[in-house]
Amino acid sequence: MTRLLGLMSQPLLLHSLTEMKSVVRGCLEAAQARTVVEIGSESGANTRELLSFVGGNDGELWCVEPEPTLEVEQLDGQEDGLHLVRGRSPEALTAVEACDAYIIDGDHNYWTVSQELDHIAESAEQLPLVLLHDVCWPAGRRDMYYAPGALPAGAVHPHSWELGCVPDRQEAIEGGFRGRGSFAIALNEGGERNGVRTAVEDFVEARGDLRFVVVPVIFGLGVLYSATAPYADALDRVLGSLEGNPLLERVERNRVDLYMELLEQGDRVSQLGLRQGRLLAEYDRSLTAAETEAAALRLEVAKLRESARARDSVDRALS
Ligand X SMILES: C[S@@+](CC[C@H](N)C(=O)[O-])C[C@H]1O[C@@H](n2cnc3c(N)ncnc32)[C@H](O)[C@@H]1O
Residues forming contacts to ligand X in the complex (CB under 6 A) are: 16-18, 39-43, 45-46, 64-67, 88-89, 105-107, 112, 146
Q: Dihedrals φ, ψ of 82, to 5°?
A: -105, 130
Q: Which among 93, 141, 258, 127 has a CA at the least distance from the CA of 204?
A: 127
In the complex, least distance from residue 64 CB atom to ligand X, rounded to whole angstroms: 5
Closest CA to 132 of 73, 75, 189, 203: 203
By C-beta, is 64 or 239 nearer to ligand X? 64
Q: How far is the CB of 5 from ligand X (least distance, A)?
A: 23
CB of 42 to ligand X, least distance (A): 4
Report in angstroms how near the CB of residue 109 gets to ligand X at its nearest. Answer: 9
Closest residue to ligand X, Cβ-based? 40
Strand partners, 225: 211
Closest CA to 241 of 83, 34, 23: 23
The minimum distance between CB 116 and ligand X, in angstroms, equals: 8
| C-beta of residue 214 within 8 angstroms of C-beta of residue 221 | yes
Residue (106 or 220) nearer to ligand X, CB: 106
24's enclosing H/E stretch is: helix 21-30
Q: Order of strands across the sheet with 82-85?
A: 82-85, 60-64, 35-39, 101-104, 129-133, 221-226, 210-215
Give the separation between CA 64 and CA 41, rounded to whole angstroms: 7
Nearer to ligand X, 64 or 238 (CB): 64
Cα Rg for the chain, rounded, in angstroms? Answer: 30
Among 98, 114, 123, which Cα is nearest to 206's? 114
Contact 195, 142 (CB under 8 A): yes
Minimum Å gap between C-beta 283 and ligand X is: 44
Residue 46, Cβ density class (10 Å: 0-12 exposed, 13-18 middle, ≥19 buried): buried
Give CA–CA dist 85/214, Å, rounded: 28
Nearer to ligand X by Cβ, of 103 and 229: the residue is 103
Write down the least CB distance from residue 203 to ligand X, Å. Answer: 17
Of 17 and 129, the one with the shorter C-beta distance to ligand X is 17
Q: Which is nearer to ligand X, 89 or 226 (CB)?
A: 89
Contacts of 177 (CB under 8 A, 6+ apart): 138, 164, 165, 166, 259, 260, 263
Tell me the closest approach of the beta carbon of residue 234 to ligand X, in angstroms. Answer: 24
Q: Which is nearer to ligand X, 102 or 212 (CB)?
A: 102
Q: Name the residue nearer to ligand X (CB basis): 106 or 222.
A: 106
